[in-house]
């Protein structure tokens, strides 16, 4: 669905939207909290705690896997495949190696979800894959190939970008100690804090689109079929929209950022990503009142979307 316009886009998105509902996400909140608490226990015990490895990476992976009905023992496999796909989606590595790795990751996702879709067609469960598989004789629904593609996209998007959101958010707060103190003094600010993280350093920095109709923009004539890059990061720092856009402000409101895109391609997983980030960041700040960065700066990942490591000091 990410790569299509109407009417194909609606054909692909509508069944996923019906299954991926806010009600289903709300039901996950206690489970998300339990996962966060469990991993913060590990953070507390670790000799050298680090937020990506100890919380930001495992939390979204566990949540989306359980939502889709993927067995826990398979999580390491799909995280490896996701990293292969991330190379082509985010341009993280040199093109030749990137394309080969992405093709291998896509093939593994396809094999895995084709088997899972067929299994759920015979034995449905209480999971998102079962909800997407059309009932026998149904006149509406996705065929097997489209189901496999939808499941692969949900699993990849459901944890790769949320990991970056949480890691970037913790890094930003530690880089701005006055803001983490505001959040600690007023935990109710966590919702606006997540929105500010999405604006200031969100996972989605840009997206590629093709020009549909001829028009003028910035003194240039754009013609149908031309490829353009929409700089979401630039829009989210637009001084005509955001007062003092280079100031990180956990209480910023209003905050009409484009961190989840816009229009018909607005992220289907926005509600889930916000919930995971809100619970994870809020619990981390509350549990460790002396939390600080255990390095001069964070380590950035090889790709363009986020930090690679955020070493923590807890006292």
Helix, strand, coil percentages in the chain from 3-state DSSP, rounded to 5: 60, 10, 30
Domains belonging to the chain, first-starting first, are 8-204+267-313 (1.10.630.10)
**Average pLDDT of the chain?**
89
Statement: the pTM of the whole predicted model exceeds 0.85: yes
Residue 217 CB contacts under 8 Å (≥ 6 apart), including other chains: none
- Average pLDDT of the residues in 163-192: 95
Cβ atoms of 110 and 148 closer than 8 Å: yes
The pLDDT > 90 percentage for the chain reads 55
The DSSP symbol for 315 reads -
Is the pLDDT score of 71 beyond 90?
no
pLDDT in tens, 232-250: 999 999 999 999 999 999 9
Grouping H, G, I as helix, E, B as strand and the rest as coil, residue 269 is coil
Look at 40-44, 86-90, 114-118, 296-300 and tell me which has the smallest mean pLDDT.
86-90
What confidence score (pLDDT) does residue 90 get?
Answer: 53
What gap in Å lies between CA 133 and CA 118, rounded to an integer? 9
Bigger pLDDT: 201 vs 79: 201
Q: Residue 291's CB: how many other CB atoms inside 10 A? A: 23
């Amino acid at each position: 669905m990410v790569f299509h316009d109407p009417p194909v886009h609606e054909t692909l998105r509508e069944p996923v939207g019906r299954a991926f509902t806010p009600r289903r996400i709300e039901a996950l909140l206690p489970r998300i909290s339990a996962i966060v608490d469990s991993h913060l226990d590990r953070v507390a015990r670790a000799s050298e705690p680090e937020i990506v490895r100890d919380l930001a990476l495992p939390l979204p992976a566990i949540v989306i896997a359980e939502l889709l009905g993927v067995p826990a023992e398979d999580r390491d496999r799909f995280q490896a495949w996701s990293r292969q796909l991330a190379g082509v989606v985010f341009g993280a590595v040199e093109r030749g190696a990137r394309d080969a790795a992405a093709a291998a990751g896509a093939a593994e996702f396809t094999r895995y979800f084709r088997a899972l879709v067929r299994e759920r067609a015979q034995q449905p469960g209480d999971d998102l894959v079962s909800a997407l598989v059309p009932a026998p004789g149904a006149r509406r629904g996705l065929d097997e190939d489209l189901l496999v593609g939808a499941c692969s996209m949900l699993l990849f998007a459901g944890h790769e970008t949320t990991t970056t959101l949480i890691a970037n958010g913790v890094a930003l707060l530690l880089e701005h100690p006055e803001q983490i103190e505001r959040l600690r003094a007023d935990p109710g600010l966590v919702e606006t804090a997540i929105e500010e993280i999405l604006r200031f350093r969100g996972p989605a920095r840009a997206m590629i689109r093709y020009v549909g109709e001829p028009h003028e923009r910035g003194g240039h004539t754009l013609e149908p079929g031309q490829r353009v890059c929409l700089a979401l990061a630039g829009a989210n720092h637009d001084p005509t929209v955001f007062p003092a856009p280079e100031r990180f402000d956990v209480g910023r409101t209003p905050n009409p950022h484009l961190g989840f895109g816009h229009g018909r391609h607005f992220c289907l997983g926005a509600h889930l990503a916000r919930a995971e980030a809100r619970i994870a960041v809020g619990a981390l700040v509350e549990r460790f009142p002396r939390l600080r960065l255990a390095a001069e700066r964070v380590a950035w990942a090889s790709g363009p979307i986020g930090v690679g490591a955020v070493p923590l000091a807890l006292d």
